Amino acid sequence: MTDEDGNGYTDYVGSWGPLIAGHRHPSVVAALEEALAKGTSFGAPTAAEITLAELVIERIPGVERVRFVNSGTEATMSALRLARAATGRDRIVKFAGCYHGHSDGLLVRAGSGATTLGTPDSPGVPAAWAKLTYVADFNDLATVREAFEAHPGEIAAVIVEPVAGNMGVVPPKDGFLQGLRDLCDEQGALLIFDEVMTGFRVKRGGAAERFGTKPHLYCFGKVIGGGLPVGAYAGPAELMDQISPRGPVYQAGTLSGNPLAMAAGIATLRLLDESAYETLEELGRRLEEGLLRSAAPGAIHVQRVGSMVTLFFQGGPVHSYEDALKSDVKRFGLFHGAMLQRGQYLPPSQFEAWFLSLAHTPKLVDDTITAARESLAIALA
């Protein structure tokens, strides 16, 4: 990537995750050019929308219907509306440090930019609306059970990033995700996986395949659009058929399923075969191990799931939002600046994931490790 001043960088932001094939992959560009020749928007379904939905259904366990929207925020907002309608309940449970977009009710201890900017609760969100959101602790099933006990028969859904990526990369503990599913089944609530970040990135079938737990509903974005604005929510027919026009739950959008976004998504998913995921896993392992060798034991901690990586400025491990907040953000700032000077473009927050792509090579990763060793010497001095 080249900036306005002509400086070159190896990009680990990747448009915050969508560019799993890298910038301007020839297959994606060709698909976009073909779609562009036909038209940019019709306000009606196209064949490409069906094709991309079929690719999602084929990959993701338990999905029978897919509804396209324009962003991850729309996907989570719409999935929660469906969950509330399906259960007849109003309250939801989310986790501290998990970000699910900027809709009202979800900007509560939301992690990501909200944490970096020091505004975890946004002005403009009605207090009465926020009160319907119960905040539990990631990787702590006891706090979720407390929510159900505090509000019996009132919780519609539990929404979670199966791999937290907005407080840095925080994987689920063994049994955590299945424990959530079991609790939701026991209490008559729905479990929603926000796989906007992990979907089609951490495994061919997303986090649900990687960790062996199926939610009731899924939310997707980023990779599914190959770099264009897109989101989707998906699940079994019995739930998804409650959405209009087949059912009473309203949701619509003129640009939903936009043919350009569908074309980019189809081209991207078709690139992601098992060989691609093996490559991404190996690149991630190489980066993780190299970063850990770049500083004295205990000075930093690196967490990774597939091609998502975070270097924490603490001894770790990081299991929750409270753990993540122990990181030394001043040292991260020094590190980030030193890495920029060495041609490494990283997310400008301690509480974000680095993303690898198929455009990265072992040589580029090794160069990043060398730059990290020099930058860590500055940050940890």
Token code pair at residue 234: 């998906």
State the catalytic residue, choosing from 11, 137, 140, 194: 194
pLDDT of residue 109: 56
Q: Which residue has the tokens 């700032």?
A: 333
> For residue 171, which of 185, 182, 160 has the smallest C-alpha distance?
160
Cα–Cα distance for residue pair 270/112, rounded to 1 Å: 30
Percent of the chain with pLDDT over 90: 89
DSSP assignment of 263-277, as one string? Answer: HHHHHHHHH--HHHH
pLDDT of residue 122: 66
- Domains, the chain, ranges and CATH? 10-21+273-379 (3.90.1150.10), 26-271 (3.40.640.10)
Please indicate whether residue 250 is annotated as part of the active site.
Answer: no
Mean pLDDT of 49-58: 97
> Is the pLDDT reported for residue 90 higher than 60?
yes
Residues 299-312: tens digit of each pLDDT = 999 999 999 999 99
State the catalytic residue, choosing from 99, 218, 233, 277: 99
pLDDT range class, residue 115, cuts 50, 70, 90: very low
pLDDT range class, residue 129, cuts 50, 70, 90: confident
Do residues 9 and 346 lie in contact, with contact meaning Cβ atoms separated by under 8 Å?
no
> What pTM value is reported for the model?
0.93
State the catalytic residue, choosing from 94, 222, 277, 323: 222
pLDDT range class, residue 108, cuts 50, 70, 90: low
Please indicate whether residue 194 is annotated as part of the active site.
Answer: yes
> For residue 28, which of 359, 362, 360, 363 has the smallest C-alpha distance?
359
| Pick from 121-125, 187-191, 259-263, 272-276: least confident | 121-125
User: Three-class SS of residue 10?
Assistant: strand
Please indicate whether residue 328 is annotated as part of the active site.
Answer: no
